[in-house]
Amino acid sequence: MKPPKFDYFAPDSIESALALIREHGGDARFLAGGQSLVPMMNFRVAAPSALIDLNGIAALRGITVDDNGCLHIGAMTRTREIETDTEIAAANPLLHAAAPSIAHIQIRNRGTIGGSLAHADPAAELPGIVVVCDAEINVIGPGGTRCIAAKDFFEGIFSTALQDGEMISEIVFPPWPAGRRWAFREISRREGDFAMVGIAGWFDTNENGAISAAGLAAIGAGDTPLRLPSAEVALIGQAPGDAVFTNAAAAAIDDLQPGSDIHASAAYRREVGGVLVERVLKTAWQRPALEATA
């Protein structure tokens, strides 16, 4: 047995989970899908004194679209459900498109959206998607409930705005306007591995055919998922087209803050990040034509 010893509890309600984490103190951890925490325990990088297993709490699971068109995803909803759910495919096609890139099928069968956000790996896909979509993260803890904007949630590598004893309860994505263009692209050594760099993006056009709103975010290119404001500004007011996309990609490079590691150098990540921005924008723009001929 590789992990260190711990106490194990499997509450069936949010209230009892919160009570248990309060009772067991600072070294206790919530256990979501376990696809990041358990490897860390197997390496003994993490050694929680107690695990409060959230897998039995039905209230933390589920996918719904409300009357305003907001998509609500329970924190313990598994990545595989996000990948295969037809409601999500319609309510947030960008999230749907990114899901197959999240690790491998065996991991997606266990891993959860809340777990991925709380873990806050800078190269993980779901943090990038919530940031680019301006989603809200609802958390619950000893101080009650609060709602954190995705852009304020990620504070550093493996570090979030979650306080001791708090858990994510739900992620809320704003409505997806008709006609929005979107794409997700990442580069990794092997399909399903962590991205060396990934880019998620969307844009809307107005009645004059100009880009009226745009969102671009990078993963694996900084300590947190990054919005790319210079690239977004370069798109606004322009008519979509190759020259505009190339300009935006060049601007995006200034927004990236990549580091170097065993997988890729900062210079490589910067270059690839720019290339991916261009590909994302082109794919997003060409998609209706591509789908019509498919």
Contact footprint for other proteins (CB under 8 A): 1-8, 10, 34-35, 38-39, 41-43, 51, 53, 55, 80, 100, 103-107, 109-110, 190-192
- Rounded Cα gap, residues 29 and 52, in angstroms: 6
Radius of gyration of the chain (CA): 19
Instruction: Tell me the CA distances in angstroms from 240 to 35, 138, 150, 251, 252, one per residue in order.
Output: 40, 35, 27, 16, 16
Residue count (the chain): 294
Q: How far is the CB of 115 from other proteins (least distance, A)?
A: 12
Q: How far is the CB of 146 from other proteins (least distance, A)?
A: 29
User: Closer to other proteins at the Cβ: 52 or 256?
Assistant: 52
User: Closer to other proteins at the Cβ: 72 or 263?
Assistant: 263
User: Closer to other proteins at the Cβ: 80 or 181?
Assistant: 80
Which residues have CB under 8 Å from 107's CB, separation 6+?
A: 35, 79, 192
| 234 residue type, one letter | A
| 9's tokens | 């509890």
Cβ–Cβ < 8 Å for 253, 266? no
Q: How far is the CB of 109 from other proteins (least distance, A)?
A: 4
- Rounded Cα gap, residues 165 and 23, in angstroms: 10
User: Closer to other proteins at the Cβ: 30 or 173?
Assistant: 30
Cβ–Cβ < 8 Å for 216, 228? yes
User: Closer to other proteins at the Cβ: 49 or 246?
Assistant: 49
- The pair phi, psi for residue 65, each rounded to 5°, is -115, 125
Q: How far is the CB of 110 from other proteins (least distance, A)?
A: 5
User: Closer to other proteins at the Cβ: 7 or 66?
Assistant: 7
Positive or negative, the CA dihedral 238, 204, 232, 277 is: negative
Q: How far is the CB of 1 from other proteins (least distance, A)?
A: 5
Cβ–Cβ < 8 Å for 127, 159? no
User: Closer to other proteins at the Cβ: 82 or 234?
Assistant: 82
Q: How far is the CB of 114 from other proteins (least distance, A)?
A: 17
Return the number of other C-beta atoms located less than 10 Å from residue 31's C-beta. Answer: 21
User: Closer to other proteins at the Cβ: 33 or 128?
Assistant: 33
Positive or negative, the CA dihedral 148, 151, 156, 157 is: positive
Q: How far is the CB of 195 from other proteins (least distance, A)?
A: 14
User: Across 54-143, where does the E strand assignment appear?
Assistant: 63-65, 71-74, 136-141
Q: How far is the CB of 188 from other proteins (least distance, A)?
A: 10
